[in-house]
Amino acid sequence: MSNATVLVADDDAAIRTVLNQALSRAGYDVRVTSNASTLWRWIAAGDGDIVITDVIMPDENAFDLLPRIKKARPDLPVLVMSAQNTFMTAIKASERGAYEYLPKPFDLTELVAIIGRALSEPKKVAADNSEDISEGMPLVGRSAAMQEIYRVLARLMQTDLTLMITGESGTGKELVARALHDYGKRRNGPFVAINMAAIPRDLIESELFGHEKGAFTGAQTRSSGRFEQAEGGTLFLDEIGDMPMDAQTRLLRVLQQGEYTTVGGRTAIRTNVRIVAATNKDLKTSINQGLFREDLYYRLNVVPLRLPPLRDRAEDIPDLVRHFSNAAEKEGLQVKRFEASALDRLKQFGWPGNVRELENFIRRLTALYPQDVITSEIVAAELNAESIQESDNSPSTSTGTVTIAQSVEDNMQRYFSQFDGDLPPPGLYHRVLEEVEYPLVLAALTATHGNQIKAAELLGLNRNTLRKKIRELGVSIYRSPRSA
């Protein structure tokens, strides 16, 4: 919109100057103020085509002002800025009817593009979603990666669009699904979760869709499925990549036609649930391998959301540590303070188990150490100082690749040194492979607490191949007490 007027409200003079200059260069008329009262006077007088406002101002919070703006001028786009870059800030902005939420510091090019988009869109009256919401913090982090997640979730709260969440194990996929439900329009309905990898494959259809009495051996009574239990709410399908083909076909029908039949049933049942799926697999690879239906993938992947591993947002670790420490205190454990150097060590670690591993680590420190202050030495002792140093030397060590290669190299040098310059017996290649396979398979089973499906995925093997290896190598299947 040519000659459009942008109203800017921010109590920071530097930000007002930067926005005035940037938006003026972009061809807009700009009016700036440091307070909410002046901004409201302009808006009430019918001035301005779009508003950019900070949340915290000397005389009024923008979240309190937004409902009045939307009531007086429902078609006026309002962009909210905030240095309080939390999930709840993004959600509140959406709930109060803001067009967009921008965390500080923001990108000027992106801001100009958003203004252009807002001014070019057809005017529409925003729904009144101004009811108060909890101050809880279901998601924690202020990194750029988390800010983008907050913004996507805020846009999805009042929709029923199907969401596909991807990311490594432990990144918080179910937590994101719960946040989407708890702060969305289905918040008064049930949230039902099902993990495909945790249910025997021949029972998944019954678990999802329910079964009739006599549908199969052992079906003594009718049983409701997760779709029926989630009616009116949200159904979270975790580890969707482990769903068998027959169940995939039935799920596709639900997504296409909005109805299903129970196992053994004949009458179609209409369903009203929001589907959120999650996986730590590459589903496109599974499609190429014939393990996942391509048409189902596109039905589920309406809105893709990738959760970053913790190593890619290490700047969030201090906030997460405080969050988990406070949670431990509420459970009756002693509150702890972490030295800055201890937090630095935590930030240097690769965290292969991601946020879940960090949470368990903080709980362990809180429970086991009587000190009020957690020092760098305590953290180093628990994490293994050598692995922290290695991860500090190279970004790639967070995946373990360099560490394994270096370990093999060191051991081979020691092996060759035994022969005082002579060559070892022939057949070294196969001998080394045989010796490495056993601890490798055992380590994978240990890491996954005896779950052969997850161990096979970790190793990049077919599950039948892994079972064959277990038998051939005589590996005792590890089962952790935690999985009992």
Question: 415: which 2 tokens?
Answer: 């092996």
Among the listed residues 83, 85, 76, the one whose alpha carbon sits nearest the alpha carbon of residue 14:
83
Neighbours of 203 (CB within 10 A): 13
Question: 209: which 2 tokens?
Answer: 């869709």
Q: Which residues are CB-neighbours of 3 under 8 A, at least 6 positions away?
A: 27, 28, 29
Q: Which residues are CB-neighbours of 481 under 8 A, at least 6 positions away?
A: none
Among the listed residues 118, 93, 113, the one whose alpha carbon sits nearest the alpha carbon of residue 103:
93
Establish how many alpha carbons lie within 13 A of residue 372's alpha carbon, considering only the half-sphere containing its beta carbon: 0
What 3-state DSSP class applies to 68? helix
Tell the residue number behind the tokens 């301005």, with chain if given: 48
Q: Which residues pair with 193 in a beta bridge?
A: 236
CA–CA separation, 49 vs 119, rounded Å?
8
Q: What is the pTM of this model?
A: 0.59
CA–CA separation, 79 vs 98, rounded Å?
6
What crossing angle do the helices spanning 385-393 and 401-417 adopt, rounded to 10°? Answer: 110
The torsion angles phi and psi of 450, rounded to 5 degrees, stand at 85, 5
**Cβ-contact 79, 51 below 8 angstroms:** yes
pLDDT (tens, 9 = 90+) of the chain, 484 residues, equals 557 999 999 988 989 999 999 999 989 999 999 999 899 989 988 889 999 999 888 888 888 888 888 888 888 999 998 887 677 777 777 777 788 888 887 888 888 888 988 888 765 444 444 333 334 456 888 888 888 888 888 888 888 999 999 999 889 999 999 989 988 889 899 999 999 888 888 888 888 998 888 777 777 788 888 999 999 999 999 999 999 998 999 999 999 999 998 888 888 899 999 999 999 988 999 999 899 999 999 999 999 999 999 999 999 999 899 888 888 877 777 778 899 999 999 998 888 889 988 988 888 888 888 888 899 888 888 876 334 444 444 444 344 444 566 566 666 766 676 666 677 777 777 777 767 887 788 888 878 877 888 888 888 888 788 888 887 777 765 544 433 3
